[in-house]
């Protein structure tokens, strides 16, 4: 009897199923991919410089690894290696918003950034996230 090859009957990459798992994976890092995207937007608003290029490239590592994680279903739950460019980008974004529209919208953005972190901390404390 011939050996059955798994590749012929293998299921295609279940992208939608993996996308549905992504928020749970991000709960270990930012709680939402919107936070790193907002950080990247803040970095993009900086004047062109070597520093901006380095930070954007560093931030790009997060997006590259997240795409790999989604496609290959790695269990990457900690994105601590890009905390610095995310924080710098968010700081720039908050500063630009405060300069343009005032303190209240800037504080609202800070509040929106804190909500996923606080919710994740509560979930971890209550044992909802193993």
pLDDT on residue 61: 85
Residue 42's pLDDT is what? 92
Please give the C-alpha separations between residue 120 and each of 31, 59, 78, 98, in angstroms, as whole numbers.
Answer: 7, 22, 13, 27
pLDDT in tens, 15-74: 677 666 665 555 555 666 778 888 899 999 999 999 999 999 988 888 887 777 766 666
Q: What are the E-state strand segments in 1-91?
A: none
Closest by CA position to 96, among listed 46, 62, 130: 46
**CA distance readout (Å), 47 to 92, 97, 127:** 11, 16, 44
Whether 110 contacts 94, CB under 8 Å: yes
Judged against a pLDDT cut of 90, whether residue 94 lies above it is answered with: yes
C-beta neighbour count of 125 within 10 angstroms: 9
């Amino acid at each position: 009897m011939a050996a059955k090859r798994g590749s012929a009957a293998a299921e295609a990459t279940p992208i939608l199923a993996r996308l549905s798992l992504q928020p749970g994976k991000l709960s270990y890092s930012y709680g939402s991919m919107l936070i790193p995207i907002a950080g990247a937007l803040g970095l993009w608003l900086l004047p062109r410089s070597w520093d901006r290029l380095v930070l954007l490239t560093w931030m790009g590592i997060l997006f590259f690894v997240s795409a790999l994680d989604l496609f290959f279903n790695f269990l990457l739950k900690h994105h601590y290696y890009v905390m610095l460019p995310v924080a710098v980008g968010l700081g720039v974004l908050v500063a630009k918003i405060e300069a343009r529209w005032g303190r209240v919208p800037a504080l609202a953005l800070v509040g929106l950034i804190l909500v996923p972190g606080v919710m994740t901390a509560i979930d971890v404390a209550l044992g909802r996230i193993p």
